[in-house]
Amino acid sequence: MAAGGNLAPATQDDILNVRPYYDDFQQFFSFSDLTQNDRDPEGGPLTLVAIEPKPGTGTGDWASLSDPNTDAIYFSVGNPSIRAEGVATFVYTVADQEGLTSTGTVQILYGEPAPEPRSITVSEDTRVFVASYIIANGGGTSYDQPEHGVVYQEDDPENGRNQLIYYQPDSDFNGTDTFDLISGPNGGPLTYAPIVLTVTPVADAPEANNDSGATGAGQPLLIPVAQLLSNDTEADGDTLTLTAVGDAANGSVSLGNGQVVFTPKAGFTGQASFTYQVEDGTGLSDTATVSVTVGQTATGSYVRGTAGADTLDYASATTRVQIAGLAGDDTLRGGTGSDALNGGAGNDIVTGGAGNDSITGGMGADRLGGGAGNDTFHIARGDLSLTGATDLIVDFQGAGQAGGDVIRFTGFAAGSTLELVGASGNARVYEVQDGAGVSEGQILVSAGGALGQVLTSIDYAFA
């Protein structure tokens, strides 16, 4: 109360609802809109002297007042693509004739509620119709893209001006996916309608992939079941089982004891094959073909694998064989001669058999066995340090003795050494170090299932 008994104006807060207003045109409020519930206790007129925007939930802006007694108060959303309800807030100040002031708060409710999500259920690997719309110059319907699929449109064959919108989930995806349908006139407010898709799982059949192998004339080819299954896939994660073999061409095939045995026809050389079937435990299956190269076992025979996982089994060969596995996780077996076996790239199993064999694993984490005889294991720097893979020699014989097995290291810098750094199971762990003591990679060495003697300088050499 001021001197002489004059009282300050009495104001009441206001809520002005302009929904569903949400375009970028200004909305105005007259002075009377704000002060219709305000009063001067003495009955005198009130004057609007100031407005001050306050934080709200929307993006509204206020125009400045050049003459608060006559100008309207302008409010603008300033964004034609508002997607949800908003609240803008400002405080206004009024004064009576004696200069006493009071403030009132106004909330402007604008925008419109976001549309309720629309739910659609579709099976895995199946497209589903979502909506249609008519092409118009004044606007239309668009969409954003979901995380686990693709939304696209096609012409309606029954109406050239109509577009059909479809959703296609990613291959083998199941779960929940979402996107928005966007509609509205060009340059005007846009409506975003959420689409929630539930993609239900469907059992996927396994995929059996073809394999290859090689053997000598009259020599059975033994392939572990696990090796045949290693390149087969099952999208649902079910365990695969090899359930049958058959359709043998130029030989016979059998399944048992965890391996498949293919026996070429007597006297046959050339291309042979058989098929195998895998099942995933849900009744779904697939079939693949194993191609077998049946070659002569003459002295100096040379066999090359493929880019896949090959089984090159010459365990029954009595003369020297040279086998190159090339790429893929290969299994190579030499015979009783002094064989040369090179696994190539991939995680290979290389077994020399009897004889003084030359064994090379190549790039990858290889399992190397020399068998009987004085064997040489070849480890190249490019196979070891540059790939980070660790080879395992399973049956190093004659450690510390002249005339035993030997490891040849090639491509390493002068001054490199081999250091014993520990043990892992029944194998000792050795590390190749350069002249400065920096590790170039590790190998594991076992003596046929035992740690065996520690390697000495006569057991290896750097070339």
CATH superfamily of 118-200: Cadherins (2.60.40.60)
Whether the domain at 118-200 and the domain at 211-462 fall into the same CATH topology: no
Q: Give the Cα separation of 380 and 455 in Å (integer).
A: 18
Burial of 300: CB neighbours in 10 Å, binned 0-12, 13-18, 19+:
exposed
Peptide bond preceding 189 in cis form (omega within 30 of 0): no
- What per-residue confidence (pLDDT) applies to 250? 97
CB atoms within 10 A of CB 126: 12
**pLDDT exceeds cutoff 70 at 22:** no
State yes or no: pLDDT of 4 exceeds 70: no
Q: What is the pLDDT of residues 122-152, one digit of tens each?
A: 999 999 999 887 655 455 678 999 999 999 9
Buried b (16+ CB within 10 A) or exposed e, 173-204: ebeebebbbbbbeeeebbbbbebebebeeeeb
Q: What is the pLDDT of residue 162?
A: 78
pLDDT at 189: 60
Please name the CATH architecture into which domain 211-462 falls: 2 Solenoid (2.150)
Structure confidence by residue, pLDDT tens digits, 366-393: 999 999 999 999 999 888 866 667 899 9
Distance (Å, whole) CA 161 – CA 139: 13
CA 29 – CA 51 distance, rounded (Å): 12
The SS3 assignment for 226 reads helix
Q: Give the containing element (helix H, strand E) for 161.
A: strand 159-169
Enter the DSSP assignment of 175: E
Q: Which residues 6+ apart lie within 8 Å of 438 measured at CB? A: none
- pLDDT at residue 116, as a whole number: 83
Say whether 204 sits in a helix, a strand or coil.
coil
d(CA 226, CA 260): 10
Q: What would the pLDDT profile of 388-438 be if each residue is shown by its tens digit?
A: 678 999 999 999 888 889 999 999 988 999 999 999 999 999 999 998 999
Rounded Cα distance between 14 and 390, Å, is 77
246-296 pLDDT, tens digit each: 999 999 999 988 889 999 999 898 999 999 999 998 889 999 999 998 876
pLDDT tens for 50-60 read 877 776 544 44
Is residue 82's pLDDT more than 60? no
Percent of the chain with pLDDT over 90: 48
Q: Which two tokens stand for residue 132?
A: 């249609």
Closest to 451 measured CA to CA, from 427, 419, 421 = 427
Return the closest-CA partner of residue 463 out of 410, 421, 417. Answer: 410
pLDDT at residue 65, rounded to an integer: 43
**Average pLDDT taken over every residue of the chain:** 84
* Lowest mean pLDDT segment, chosen from 19-23, 62-66, 182-186, 205-209: 62-66
User: Predicted confidence band at 81 (pLDDT cuts at 50, 70, 90)?
Assistant: very low
Identify each DSSP E strand in 265-300 by its residue range. Answer: 270-279, 285-295
3-110 has CATH 2.60.40.10 classification: yes
**Cα(374)–Cα(68) distance, integer angstroms:** 106
Residue 191 CA from chain centroid, whole number:
33
Task: Please state the domain extents for the chain.
Answer: 3-110, 118-200, 211-462
Lowest mean pLDDT segment, chosen from 57-71, 105-119, 197-211, 226-240: 57-71
Q: Which helix (H) or strand (E) holds 229?
A: helix 225-229
Q: How far is CA 402 from the centre of its chain?
A: 52
Q: Please, what's the b/e burial string for 138-150 (b: 16 or more CB within 10 A of its CB; e: otherwise)?
A: eeebebeebeebe
Burial of 403 from C-beta contacts in 10 A (0-12 / 13-18 / 19+): exposed
Does residue 80 surpass a pLDDT of 70?
no
Q: Give the predicted TM-score (pTM) of the model.
A: 0.47
- Strand 211-216, strand 285-295: pairing: parallel
Higher pLDDT, 300 or 331: 331
Q: Which of 109-113, 191-195, 278-282 has the highest mean pLDDT?
A: 278-282
The per-residue pLDDT for 145 is 95
Number of CB atoms found within 10 A of residue 416's CB: 18
- Report the distance separating Cα 306 and Cα 345, nearest Å: 11
* Among the listed residues 50, 81, 82, 75, the one whose alpha carbon sits nearest the alpha carbon of residue 65: 50
In the structure, what pLDDT confidence band is assigned to residue 298 with cuts at 50, 70 and 90? very low
Higher pLDDT, 77 or 125: 125
**Beta strands 149-156 and 118-123, pairing class:** unpaired
CB 315 within 8 A of CB 352: no
**DSSP per-residue codes, 313-350:** E-TT--S-EEEE--SSS-EEE--SS--EEE--SSS-EE
End-to-end Cα spacing for the chain: 105
Which residues is 221 bridged to in the sheet?
A: 262
